[in-house]
Structure 1
Amino acid sequence: MVHISRREAVLGAAALGAGAALSACSGPGDGSGQTAGGDLALPTYTPFDGAPPDWPGDDVLLDGYRTYPADPIVGVEEPPGDGEPVSFITNIPGAIPPQMADNPFWQAMNTAIGSELRIEMAPNADYETKFQTRIASGDLPDMINIPVTTPDLPGLLSATCMDLTEHLSGDAVSAYPYLANLGPEYWRGCVADGAIYGVPVPRLFSRNFVVLTRRDLLQARGVDPDVQVTTWDEFVDLCRELTRPAENTWALTRVPANIAHMAAGIPNGWHRAEDGSFTHYIEHENMTASLEAQAQLFEAGVLNPDSFVANASTRKEWFSGGSAAMDYDSFIAWTQYESENLGTPDFSVGGIVAPSYQGAEPVQWLGGALNNITGFSADSSHSAETLLGIANYLAAPFGTAEYLLKKYGVRGEQHELDGTDPIPTSRGVQEVGIGLQYICDAPTAYYFPGDPGVPERQHAVQERMKDVLSKDDGYGLYSATRDQKAAEIETPVWDAMNEMVQGRRSLSEYPDVVATWRENGGARIAEELAEAHEASGLA
């Protein structure tokens, strides 16, 4: 997040969930420090010299690996903890794992960290309520998983969290090499009032969305399992070929709306024009074309009939169970699908990038930079150095001994080796998910133990996307109106879009829908983002 005084109320982070921007900055690892507006230097980006990737990425694209190194690098020689318990509150995406007393993995991590990790967990659906309750009570743990959509995030960070600037700004971050391995686009989201108030949990490209395909089902239908389509018409034809209503099988779990936006050449999120003005993608002149593209899928009958009312869990069941050949989700979901279906013979996932709709130049939306920010309570009895040391350990990248332990646990307990690859045991599946990845993490690596074909396919799809990435220019810029009213004024837009795709409303009404959005706050948000960008000092 870029800096300006909160009194001017033009910067903050309520927009972090909308996507990531790679704003103008000096090159990675040049030692100069990246500026975040004002005089603050972001942590100097110094890529960790670790395991050479089989499929190289860069500071945005992800590295891919066939196998885990036989001799993982040890980057943390001494446990970073101070011997006293460290508390943390977080969400958990899956089942709540065995608690510390019954969880040997958790106990092993306590030993490696050098402090007992007292982790309070809540399911995803309950976390926001738990988080807000704890904030309101003032009874905060030492380390806090702070959602990036938190209202008035700059105020919360500066009021409740340690100022970490002196420990992280510029070359000071070199004391924490794994944290220095995180690029400036991640740290920008951790700044408020000209200071660094937390550590990032990075995502970015791993949250790029694609049309995920069941390669095994495509092949069974006589379709190239790695098929790519270049036009929307070809995509619709493929969907028709994969749909068998009499067999209760459908091409798609839902309308891939954002893929249609990309196919129509619509920029990601908020777009900044050369004159400095901001527009939202829903205002783009090609939005009607995108809605037409989506309506084609509905009219072709290639969507599960319950797609507009089903929740995410149900859609995942359709895809995993084979009643849908394609889903619309991220690279993270791709890996999860592969992991959760190891017992399904021939189960295999591929990806289709956005094709062109009616000759438009398609783009690929870059995923959101952060999953969350981890703040350190200003009232914690631990030093900033201790908590940063723990975060540094958990930011260990692929190929290190620390990464192997935090992701796969102890050999013979939570994993066994297949060659040099750690294969989770049944215990590992149950015990490892204690939420360490939400304290801090490394950029995602394409890797799947025991099956190098998965990262090879993922990297190949990434290569198809890299030259036309579209960032959200609103990332890291604060708009008070967006903070307060975005959901209220956007919900009618999404509802109208769904009705138009299903033929219940005319596409001719769309300009009026957008006009209402602008009148109710959209235009003011655009003005505030332009003011924020001008004040930020960013190019």
Structure 2
Amino acid sequence: MSVYDARLARRAVLAGGAALGLAGAVGCSNAGRGASGAGNDEATKTRIRPAYERYSGVKPDLSGAEYKIPDAFNKYPANPVQAISAAPGDGKPITVTTYTNTPIPPRLEQNTFWQEFNKRVGSPVQVNLTPSVDYDRKFATAVAGDQLGDVFLVGNVPQTPQMLAAKAVDLTPHLSGDNIKKYPYLANLPELAWNSGIFDGKIYGVPIPRGAISSQVMYSRRDILAAQGLKPEVKSADEFVELCKALTDKKLNRFALATAPTQFVRNMFDIPNTWSKDGDKLVSMFEHPGHEDVFALLQQLWKSGYIHPDAYSGQNLDMKTRFANGSSPLVQDTFSGWPTYLQTMTDPKAEIAIIAPPKHDGSGQGSIWLGAPAIGVSAISKKAEARVETLLGYLNFLATPFGTKEYLFRKFGLPGVHHRIVDGNPVLNAKGFSEVQLGLMYQADGPWTIFLPEHAGSAENEFNAMKSVVPTALDNPAAGLYSETSNRKNKQLNDAINQVTDDIVQGRKPISVWAPAVKKWKSDGGDKIAEELAAALKSSR
């Protein structure tokens, strides 16, 4: 066991592998850029940063470049191009360690998609899937036990840069500058996303890009609102409360909000996206004085019964179910959840719209928080270094973009088996939805594309929704920066302050406990995180 492994094993026992980090939770800001060491200055990163070469093989119906949002497509090309001329595999097994946000798929023996996927890869792919909520703990155990797959999604462990130096292949010779052009679909990944894979002047991982699509917004069931003569628009906090009141009907077991709309309310009061800059310093959003008003409004929504009573006791899937069946016509979620909601809504007349956050006082539109450029990073194990080109070829295969045969198969499986063709578009059936969930999008993926074949017009609806709020979204100045203290303590710190938040909203504690809780958060590690991230930000300019 290496010195690093021994340290990790001890810390995993003490901390339960518990910190929230690189594996991709919303709001995570612990990934690579600005990691400790002298190799993070701009000159160094310019030398090593992969060249960007945008894929232009298919023209979108709606181009999002001007608005910094994904392109949208109404139709899948009738004659998709073959992006990969030869299977990337070498015939030997490819083992993968990653997570999933969907039910575990059927085993290989019962999974037609998986069997065909292995044929097209040219190697049997063995995927070790873990539910995302448990991934950090499982990842820490795998690192300590030297049980990582050939390809692994980087989870959160102490001293992540040191872990990668010990466990992962340095990909710089393969991906820096024009070297990446050997893998054209990795070269198509957004430039900012690569910050998450660069540590100490070296490229250790391939990012999984998201960006604007991972921004959180308030979804609404337009059809339910319309049936009551309501519109998915509010111009002030008071109007939002009135909308929630109108949508709540306890006789029908209907509660306006599936979960507490904490971030949406913060958007009304100009709370910054995780961090804000004050000269060379970073200030936590927890310190914003608007929180007293935020909590007063959230308490009002809870006390009035406008938030589902199980909002704090259920799982992530529960809020989707409440929205889909109409028992909660409003839910806060990321734009990337749009396809899942379409797939889970059984009413053919169901429609989705978003509600833009207003300024609380009615003085204009508020600003949502812009999602992080990447939700995770996939690295290659040093044990598989002899096969690094094969494994990069595999990740390149997974990053093939919309409009290709590979993308069509990866997302929709085989025609007649996993999807049916509706108006020229592939639509997953139940077998397809079950079998294709191999966690492929948490190994590597191309830039997100808005394509929603389940319902005609949905792609344009989501595109216009993003267009209406993303251009004015607030970014997180620390997105992609690395803090060791955050890596070790972020989960414990946030669990503590989130518990105080929940207690305040549900009326178990008064709003006056917020200021002491923030003071404790700062002294327990928040101030140290701010210092480390500020130093990383300064060195990355």
TM over 0.5: yes
Provide the residue aligned with 2:197 in structure 1: 190
Which of residues 59, 72, 76 in structure 2 aligns to 1:64?
Answer: 72
Q: When the two structures are superposed, what TM-score results if normalisation uses the length of structure 1? A: 0.89
Instruction: Classify 1:494/1:426 alpha carbon distance in 2 versus 1 (closer, same or farther; 3 Å).
Output: closer
Checking the alignment, whether the CA contact within 8 Å between 1:45 and 1:181 is kept in structure 2 is yes
SS at match of 2:154: strand
Which of residues 452, 465, 481 in structure 2 aligns to 1:461?
Answer: 465
1:331-342 aligned at under 5 Å gives the runs 331-341=335-345
- How much has 1:440 moved relative to structure 2? 0.4
Gaps of 5+ in 2: 1-19, 34-40
CA distance in 2, matches of 1:360, 1:21: 33
- How much has 1:39 moved relative to structure 2? 5.6
Checking the alignment, whether the CA contact within 8 Å between 1:20 and 1:366 is kept in structure 2 is no
Which segment is superposed worse, 257-266 or 74-83? Answer: 74-83
CA distance in 2, matches of 1:35, 1:74: 37
- Are residues 1:243 and 2:251 paired? no
Checking the alignment, whether the CA contact within 8 Å between 2:30 and 2:487 is kept in structure 1 is no
Checking the alignment, whether the CA contact within 8 Å between 1:187 and 1:199 is kept in structure 2 is yes
Aligned length: 511
Instruction: Classify 1:320/1:169 alpha carbon distance in 2 versus 1 (closer, same or farther; 3 Å).
Output: same
CA distance in 1, matches of 2:225, 2:384: 54
1:32-71 aligned at under 5 Å gives the runs 35=42, 40-58=47-65, 60-71=68-79
Instruction: Classify 1:439/1:492 alpha carbon distance in 2 versus 1 (closer, same or farther; 3 Å).
Output: closer
Which of residues 509, 515, 539 in structure 2 aligns to 1:511?
Answer: 515
Deviation readout 1:434-457 (Å, 9 max, x if unpaired): 122222001221111142321111
Provide the residue aligned with 2:82 in structure 1: 74
CA distance in 1, matches of 2:484, 2:379: 22
Give the fraction of aligned pairs with identical amino acids, expressed as a percent. 32
Provide the residue aligned with 2:174 in structure 1: 167
Checking the alignment, whether the CA contact within 8 Å between 1:297 and 1:303 is kept in structure 2 is yes
Checking the alignment, whether the CA contact within 8 Å between 2:190 and 2:209 is kept in structure 1 is no
- How much has 1:241 moved relative to structure 2? 0.8
Instruction: Classify 1:452/1:171 alpha carbon distance in 2 versus 1 (closer, same or farther; 3 Å).
Output: farther
Provide the residue aligned with 1:352 in structure 2: 355
Gaps of 5+ in 1: 1-12, 25-33
CA distance in 1, matches of 2:488, 2:138: 21
- Are residues 1:137 and 2:145 paired? yes
Checking the alignment, whether the CA contact within 8 Å between 1:393 and 1:402 is kept in structure 2 is yes
- Are residues 1:295 and 2:302 paired? no
Which of residues 306, 312, 317 in structure 2 aligns to 1:313?
Answer: 317
- How much has 1:88 moved relative to structure 2? 1.0
Provide the residue aligned with 2:3 in structure 1: none
1:439-518 aligned at under 5 Å gives the runs 439-518=443-522
Checking the alignment, whether the CA contact within 8 Å between 2:32 and 2:198 is kept in structure 1 is no
Instruction: Classify 1:105/1:265 alpha carbon distance in 2 versus 1 (closer, same or farther; 3 Å).
Output: same
- How much has 1:40 moved relative to structure 2? 4.1
Provide the residue aligned with 2:415 in structure 1: 411
Checking the alignment, whether the CA contact within 8 Å between 1:211 and 1:328 is kept in structure 2 is yes
Instruction: Classify 1:522/1:93 alpha carbon distance in 2 versus 1 (closer, same or farther; 3 Å).
Output: closer
Letter in 2 for 1:397: P
CA distance in 1, matches of 2:128, 2:32: 36
CA distance in 2, matches of 1:109, 1:211: 36
CA distance in 2, matches of 1:125, 1:257: 20
Which segment is superposed worse, 498-507 or 434-443? Answer: 498-507
CA distance in 2, matches of 1:377, 1:173: 19
1:84-483 aligned at under 5 Å gives the runs 84-147=92-155, 149-224=156-231, 227-273=232-278, 275-341=279-345, 343-358=346-361, 359=363, 362-380=366-384, 382-483=386-487
CA distance in 2, matches of 1:500, 1:167: 51
Instruction: Classify 1:488/1:130 alpha carbon distance in 2 versus 1 (closer, same or farther; 3 Å).
Output: closer
Letter in 2 for 1:219: A
Provide the residue aligned with 1:524 in structure 2: 528
Deviation readout 1:477-519 (Å, 9 max, x if unpaired): 2222222222333333222223333344333443232222222
Checking the alignment, whether the CA contact within 8 Å between 2:172 and 2:202 is kept in structure 1 is yes
SS at match of 1:324: coil
SS at match of 1:54: coil
- How much has 1:22 moved relative to structure 2? 13
Instruction: Classify 1:96/1:503 alpha carbon distance in 2 versus 1 (closer, same or farther; 3 Å).
Output: closer
Letter in 2 for 1:452: A
CA distance in 2, matches of 1:212, 1:201: 24
Letter in 2 for 1:356: K
Deviation readout 1:92-149 (Å, 9 max, x if unpaired): 32222222233222222222212221222233344334322221111332111223x4
- How much has 1:54 moved relative to structure 2? 1.4
Instruction: Classify 1:247/1:39 alpha carbon distance in 2 versus 1 (closer, same or farther; 3 Å).
Output: closer
Checking the alignment, whether the CA contact within 8 Å between 1:36 and 1:188 is kept in structure 2 is no
SS at match of 1:398: coil
Which segment is superposed worse, 48-57 or 307-316? Answer: 307-316
Checking the alignment, whether the CA contact within 8 Å between 1:201 and 1:440 is kept in structure 2 is yes
Letter in 1 for 2:144: A
Checking the alignment, whether the CA contact within 8 Å between 2:95 and 2:149 is kept in structure 1 is yes
Checking the alignment, whether the CA contact within 8 Å between 1:250 and 1:304 is kept in structure 2 is yes
Q: When the two structures are superposed, what TM-score results if normalisation uses the length of structure 2? A: 0.88
Checking the alignment, whether the CA contact within 8 Å between 2:32 and 2:197 is kept in structure 1 is no
- How much has 1:360 moved relative to structure 2? 7.3
CA distance in 1, matches of 2:30, 2:296: 29
Letter in 1 for 2:286: I
Letter in 1 for 2:479: Y
Deviation readout 1:306-351 (Å, 9 max, x if unpaired): 323333233333222221111111112221011122x334222221
- How much has 1:361 moved relative to structure 2? 6.2
Checking the alignment, whether the CA contact within 8 Å between 1:21 and 1:185 is kept in structure 2 is no
Provide the residue aligned with 1:10 in structure 2: none
Deviation readout 1:180-225 (Å, 9 max, x if unpaired): 111122111011121001111122222111111122221222223x
CA distance in 2, matches of 1:507, 1:484: 29
CA distance in 1, matches of 2:510, 2:472: 32
Which segment is superposed worse, 127-136 or 207-216? Answer: 127-136
Letter in 1 for 2:265: A
Which segment is superposed worse, 467-476 or 159-168? Answer: 467-476
Letter in 1 for 2:95: S
- How much has 1:179 moved relative to structure 2? 0.7
- How much has 1:14 moved relative to structure 2? 4.5
- How much has 1:301 moved relative to structure 2? 2.7
